[in-house]
């Protein structure tokens, strides 16, 4: 018995010892608040709980720590003082003294710091009055997204109304850089969440030799979860005040679009000038869609004067296109309307308009048990222009193809078809209408032989383990009858089907590698080189790049190649070499580099004999953090000068950034400055939701 009493006493001491050494804990009756502290006491009359020393309280997703606190279960009033910290989700409130009603959410916090996690916004104030879970009013406040205690910039206001789900609105605001006041703002509203919110974005400033001093004041409008708009006030001292609009929307089934517009009363030309641009994609069903692209300007020189912002100042043509496509298992029906403005012509009277063109395509389909296939391309078009031939054209090219499969290592195909064309033409060469109808049938046949040879080589290098080399030689033949077609109108190159009796021969070399990547392996392309040439027995040929046919039997030697120096760098080369005159007809070498860490380099040379010759390059690097430098240029050897050069530099701080850009092009020089405050003036227009974000957010679809 004595031993039993000793064991019971030892067990009681063991259980009591932890309770005496741990902090006290209390859960008031009929309450979901949990209180922990070094010491706690309860008033026997009003049941108020008083806690001191390392106070910790939690209730409905909110936690509080303080030196001292008291809670009245009857009135639901919580009072805390000394290093008060309140957390809800990622948001944080700090202060010296707190009074909070847990039932209504109303309360006050003195000498407060509010940290809104979504926008990384810090709000300090002498007093924070909390109206409910998401709204508060802050007096004698400062706002920043920089780190305390020495922020790079702050907004100081007498009073700030904050909605944690939307905006902060301030009056009598002073903008400080460090401790220096630089700007007074009578009223300001800015988002305190990362979601798209309506509001003014930070102005952009600049100077242009043709437009004078410039200031862009953009307003972002969050219309709905699937719609937004940017309204831009563009002030130019030499040209006037312009207004820009960019409206974007998302619709059901992946449909989307945007509408852009710009209007200005040009002080130099003393007239209204503007532009309308629209893009729309409507997915009516999986096999039916509608697309439209509208580009219209008030005059032919508008883009050269005002198109620098959109990058369209050197556009050669402006096209408005409306298109509809319906597909079946083996067929596709396409309707297309195109209206063009040719800015390189003296006027638009001779520019050909397609109003409209309807085409039908039948993909290759098997006709019988034999490997015989049928395909078809057909179209009917109506062409119009003020001066020159106009009318209608009907074209069809039915074709039969015999596929032999493989003959040993060879694969062979033979095809035969006929080009059918019919015309109804109206022309006014001397002011009197002249209408005529004509047509033709032109047979065409051809064949192709190809094979593939490959071999794998063991390299056993530190990175490259194996190399696979594949050679694909190909021989093809094409024949089309000679026919006089000068009586037909010339709308495009399809109206001149040239006489052909020509062989094409070539080979493609593909090099692929197996690379060691840590403990695993990856397969990458190393190089792809294609060499091709044609030999004309008789007849002519068409080279769509050089647009020349000097009548030589040998065509230009065509070389196309891609070489990957490493996963970040690639060399490209595309050239046509005239073996008769021993010179290049065209050449386009290029280099592309991207280290995936912010450094980009590209360079290219473009030459087409007797047509153009220029070089272009682009470099951008983040190697000199916090700076990002960029340079883009194009140099014309024909004009012996630079066509355009753009210099840019961005300085990015933890809580702000500034972008400087200099545009230097023929006839115009401009300089722009774009300043952003992180979390305050970030461009919400770049955060438009994707299609898969619409339904979870409950967006209302447009009908």
pLDDT in tens, 282-297: 999 999 999 999 999 9
Distance CA 588, CA 545 (A): 12
The confidence band for 542, taking pLDDT boundaries of 50, 70 and 90, is low
- Give residues with Cβ within 8 angstroms of 254, minimum separation 6: 281, 283, 691
**Are 67 and 82 spatial neighbours (Cβ–Cβ below 8 Å)?**
yes
**Could you tell me which CATH class the domain 27-191 is placed in?**
mainly beta
- What's the rounded mean pLDDT across residues 34-43? 90
Other CB atoms closer than 10 Å to residue 612's CB: what's the count?
Answer: 12
Distance CA 49, CA 28 (A): 8
The predicted-structure confidence for 405-455, as pLDDT tens digits, reads as follows 655 678 899 999 999 999 999 875 544 556 788 999 999 999 999 999 999
The confidence band for 9, taking pLDDT boundaries of 50, 70 and 90, is very low
**Are 539 and 553 spatial neighbours (Cβ–Cβ below 8 Å)?**
no
- And the tokens for 513? 């590698």
- Give residues with Cβ within 8 angstroms of 40, minimum separation 6: 24, 25, 26, 49, 50, 51, 52
Task: Say yes or no to pLDDT of 1 above 50.
Answer: no
Dihedral angle of Cα 360, 366, 371, 374, to the nearest 10 degrees:
-20
Other CB atoms closer than 10 Å to residue 8's CB: what's the count?
Answer: 9
Distance CA 100, CA 517 (A): 58
Task: Say yes or no to pLDDT of 11 above 50.
Answer: no
- Among 112, 114, 110, CA closest to 90: 114
Q: Token pair 């130019």 is at which residue?
A: 236
3-state secondary structure of 426: strand
- Among 143, 148, 201, CA closest to 170: 143
- And the tokens for 328? 């079946």
Distance CA 547, CA 556 (A): 11
More confident residue, 517 or 633: 633
Its pTM stands at: 0.72
**Are 221 and 200 spatial neighbours (Cβ–Cβ below 8 Å)?**
no
The confidence band for 693, taking pLDDT boundaries of 50, 70 and 90, is very low
Strand partners, 536: 502
pLDDT of residue 233: 93
Other CB atoms closer than 10 Å to residue 2's CB: what's the count?
Answer: 5
Our measurement of the distance from residue 102's CA atom to the centroid of its chain's CA atoms, rounded to an integer in Å, reads 46
- Quote the mean pLDDT of the chain: 85
pLDDT of residue 123: 86
- Give residues with Cβ within 8 angstroms of 4, minimum separation 6: none
- Among 383, 501, 492, 522, CA closest to 444: 501
3-state secondary structure of 178: coil
Task: Say yes or no to pLDDT of 491 above 60.
Answer: yes
616 φψ region: left (φ > 0), alpha (ψ -120 to 50), beta (else): beta
- Among 650, 656, 652, 655, CA closest to 628: 650
The predicted-structure confidence for 230-274, as pLDDT tens digits, reads as follows 999 999 999 999 999 999 999 988 899 999 999 999 999 999 999
**Are 266 and 250 spatial neighbours (Cβ–Cβ below 8 Å)?**
no
3-state secondary structure of 66: strand
Q: Token pair 């070489």 is at which residue?
A: 563
**Are 80 and 69 spatial neighbours (Cβ–Cβ below 8 Å)?**
yes
- And the tokens for 36? 């922990």
**DSSP letter string over 429-464?**
SSSS-EEEEEEEEEEEEEEEEEE-EEEEEE---SSE
More confident residue, 497 or 368: 497
Q: Residue 305: in which H helix or E strand, if any?
A: helix 302-306
The confidence band for 172, taking pLDDT boundaries of 50, 70 and 90, is confident
89: burial class by Cβ within 10 Å (0-12, 13-18, 19+)?
Answer: exposed
Tell me whether the omega of the peptide bond preceding residue 455 falls within 30 degrees of 0, making it cis. no
More confident residue, 120 or 336: 336
Task: Say yes or no to pLDDT of 686 above 70.
Answer: no
Other CB atoms closer than 10 Å to residue 423's CB: what's the count?
Answer: 21
Task: Say yes or no to pLDDT of 121 above 60.
Answer: yes
The confidence band for 315, taking pLDDT boundaries of 50, 70 and 90, is confident
Q: Token pair 């309308």 is at which residue?
A: 276
- And the tokens for 279? 């893009």
Distance CA 297, CA 319 (A): 11
> What spatial distance separates the first Cα and last Cα of the chain, rounded to whole Å?
88
Distance CA 408, CA 259 (A): 58
Distance CA 170, CA 190 (A): 9
- What's the rounded mean pLDDT across residues 213-225? 88
**Are 476 and 447 spatial neighbours (Cβ–Cβ below 8 Å)?**
yes
- Write down the number of H helices and E strands in the chain: 2, 42
Where along the chain do the CATH 2.60.450.10 domains lie? 27-191
**Are 173 and 184 spatial neighbours (Cβ–Cβ below 8 Å)?**
yes
- Give residues with Cβ within 8 angstroms of 683, minimum separation 6: 201, 220, 676
Distance CA 606, CA 144 (A): 49
**Are 330 and 363 spatial neighbours (Cβ–Cβ below 8 Å)?**
yes
The confidence band for 395, taking pLDDT boundaries of 50, 70 and 90, is very high
**Are 358 and 333 spatial neighbours (Cβ–Cβ below 8 Å)?**
yes
- Among 305, 344, 309, CA closest to 667: 305
Q: Token pair 């078009």 is at which residue?
A: 381
Dihedral angle of Cα 100, 101, 104, 110, to the nearest 10 degrees:
-20
**DSSP letter string over 207-233?**
EETTTEEEEEEEEEEEEETTEEEEEEE
Output the CA–CA distances (angstroms, integers) from residue 85 to 55, 57, 64, 347, 645, in the order listed: 10, 10, 6, 72, 54
Give Dmax over CA atoms of the chain in angstroms: 135
* E strand spans, 540-626: 557-566, 569-578, 583-587, 590-594, 600-608, 612-621
Distance CA 576, CA 579 (A): 9
**CB-side neighbour CA atoms (13 Å) of 118:** 13
Distance CA 529, CA 531 (A): 7
């Amino acid at each position: 018995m004595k031993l039993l009493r000793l064991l019971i006493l030892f067990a009681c001491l063991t259980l009591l010892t932890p309770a005496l050494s741990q902090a006290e804990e209390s859960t008031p009756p009929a309450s979901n608040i949990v209180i922990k502290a070094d010491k706690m006491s309860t008033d026997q009359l009003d049941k108020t709980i008083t806690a001191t020393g390392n106070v910790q309280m939690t209730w409905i997703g909110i936690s509080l720590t303080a030196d001292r606190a008291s809670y009245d279960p009857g009135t639901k009033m919580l009072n805390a003082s000394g290093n008060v910290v309140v957390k809800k989700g990622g948001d944080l409130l700090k202060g010296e003294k707190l009074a909070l009603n847990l039932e209504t959410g109303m309360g006050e916090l003195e000498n407060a710091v509010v940290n809104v996690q979504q926008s990384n916004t810090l709000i300090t104030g002498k007093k924070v009055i909390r109206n409910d879970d998401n709204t508060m009013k802050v007096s004698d406040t400062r706002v920043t997204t920089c780190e305390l205690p020495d922020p790079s910039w702050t907004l100081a206001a007498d009073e700030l109304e904050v909605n944690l789900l939307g905006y902060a609105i301030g009056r009598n605001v002073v903008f400080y850089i460090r401790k220096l006041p630089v700007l007074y703002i009578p009223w300001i509203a800015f988002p305190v969440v990362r979601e798209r919110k309506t509001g003014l974005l930070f102005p952009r400033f600049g100077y242009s030799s043709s437009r004078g001093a410039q200031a862009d004041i953009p307003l972002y409008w969050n219309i709905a979860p699937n719609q937004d708009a940017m309204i831009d006030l563009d002030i130019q001292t030499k040209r006037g005040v312009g207004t820009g609009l960019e409206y974007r929307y998302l619709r059901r089934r992946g449909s989307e679009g945007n509408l852009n517009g710009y209007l200005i009363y040009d002080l130099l030309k003393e007239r209204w000038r503007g532009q309308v641009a629209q893009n729309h994609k409507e997915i009516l069903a999986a096999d039916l869609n509608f697309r439209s692209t509208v580009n219209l300007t008030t005059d032919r020189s508008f883009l050269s004067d005002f198109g620098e912002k959109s990058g369209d100042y050197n556009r050669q043509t402006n096209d408005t296109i409306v298109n509809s496509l319906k597909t079946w298992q083996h067929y596709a029906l396409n309707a297309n309307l195109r209206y063009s403005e040719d800015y390189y012509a003296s006027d638009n009277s001779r520019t050909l308009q397609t109003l409209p063109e309807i085409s039908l395509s039948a993909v290759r389909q098997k006709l019988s048990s034999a490997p015989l296939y049928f395909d078809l391309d057909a179209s009917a078009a109506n062409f119009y222009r003020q001066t020159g031939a106009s009318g209608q054209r009907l074209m069809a090219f039915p074709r039969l193809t015999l596929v032999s499969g493989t003959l040993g290592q060879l694969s062979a195909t033979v095809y035969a078809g006929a080009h059918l064309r019919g015309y109804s033409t109206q022309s006014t060469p001397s002011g009197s209408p002249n209408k005529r109808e004509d047509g033709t049938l032109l047979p065409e046949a051809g064949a192709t032989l190809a094979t593939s040879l490959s071999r794998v080589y063991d390299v056993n290098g530190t990175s490259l383990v194996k190399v696979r080399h594949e050679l694909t030689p190909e021989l093809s033949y094409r024949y089309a009858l000679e026919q006089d077609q000068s009586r037909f109108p010339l709308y495009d190159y399809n109206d001149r089907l040239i006489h052909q009796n020509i062989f094409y021969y070539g080979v493609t070399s593909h090099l692929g590698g197996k690379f060691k990547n840590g403990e695993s392996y990856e397969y990458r392309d190393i190089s792809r080189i294609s060499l091709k040439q044609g030999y004309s027995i008789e007849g002519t040929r068409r080279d769509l790049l050089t647009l020349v046919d000097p009548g030589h039997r040998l065509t230009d030697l065509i070389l196309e190649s891609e070489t990957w120096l490493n996963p970040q760098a690639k060399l490209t080369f595309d050239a046509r070499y005239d073996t008769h005159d021993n010179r290049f007809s065209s050449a386009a070498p290029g280099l592309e580099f991207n280290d995936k860490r912010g450094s980009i380099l590209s360079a290219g040379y473009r030459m087409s004999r007797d047509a153009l010759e220029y070089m272009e390059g682009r470099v951008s690097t983040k190697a000199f953090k916090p700076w990002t430098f960029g340079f883009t240029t194009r140099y014309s050897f024909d004009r012996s000068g630079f066509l355009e050069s753009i210099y840019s530099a961005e300085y990015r701080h933890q809580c702000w950034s500034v972008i400087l850009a200099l545009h230097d092009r023929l006839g115009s020089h401009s300089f722009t400055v774009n300043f952003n405050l992180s979390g305050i003036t970030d461009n919400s227009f770049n955060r438009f939701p994707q299609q898969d974000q619409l339904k979870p957010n409950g967006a209302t679809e447009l009908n």
